[in-house]
Amino acid sequence: MNRLLEQLKNFDPIECAVLGVGNSLKGDDGVGSIIAGRLKNVEPLYVIDTGTVPENFIGKVLSTKRNVLVFIDAMDFGEKPGSYKFFGIEDIDDGDISTHAPSLSYMLEIFKGGGEIQAYVIGIQPETIELGEKISKRVEAAAKDITDIFIEWVRCSA
């Protein structure tokens, strides 16, 4: 079984908010937004494409009463492009790996002390985040895998 699927099975999809983070004008940097778009109609998930400003959605996310937040973002964690990992909030060091470091770090800090809310990040290793580039084949393949894993998780939980 896929490791990401194993990790997601620890949660009930009805308790989960998925937040895609990304800038589609910068190649692989838009992968979180792409995945959010693909998952937006997958019930019972609550999915938001936050673009490059996840902090602007704090109120909206908190009003959903979902207690598991899963951010999806391009992150440089030193592996091959298209690799992806599930990070617990304690695994994130004050923004040193996210391409949206200040925004995502700020969001994670807000939820660290919350107690009732659990926050996680699915990081996807980018190949290119240059302005004007398209998503790379490896990161597109990862986006498809992650989307399929989420759909399988929801289906298995029903």
Domain ranges for the chain: 3-157
Using DSSP's 3-state secondary structure scheme, residue 52 falls into: coil
What's residue 100's pLDDT?
46
Three-state DSSP state, 137: helix
- Considering the segment(s) 3-157 as one domain, its CATH architecture is 3-Layer(aba) Sandwich (3.40)
Q: Check residue 46 and give its pLDDT.
A: 96
Bridge-partner residues for 87, per DSSP?
Answer: 121
**Nearest residue to 2 via CA among 156, 157, 146:** 146
Please give the pLDDT value at position 96: 47
Contacts of 3 (CB under 8 A, 6+ apart): 86
**Three-state DSSP class for residue 20:** strand
**Model pLDDT, residue 65:** 86
Profile the chain (158 residues) by mean pLDDT over runs of 10 residues.
90 95 93 97 95 87 89 93 89 54 60 72 94 95 98 92
Please tell me the predicted confidence (pLDDT) of residue 115.
63
According to the model, what pLDDT value does residue 112 have?
58
Q: Are strands 84-88 and 16-21 parallel, antiparallel or unpaired?
A: unpaired
Task: Output the pLDDT for position 91.
Answer: 72
Distance CA 158, CA 155 (A): 5
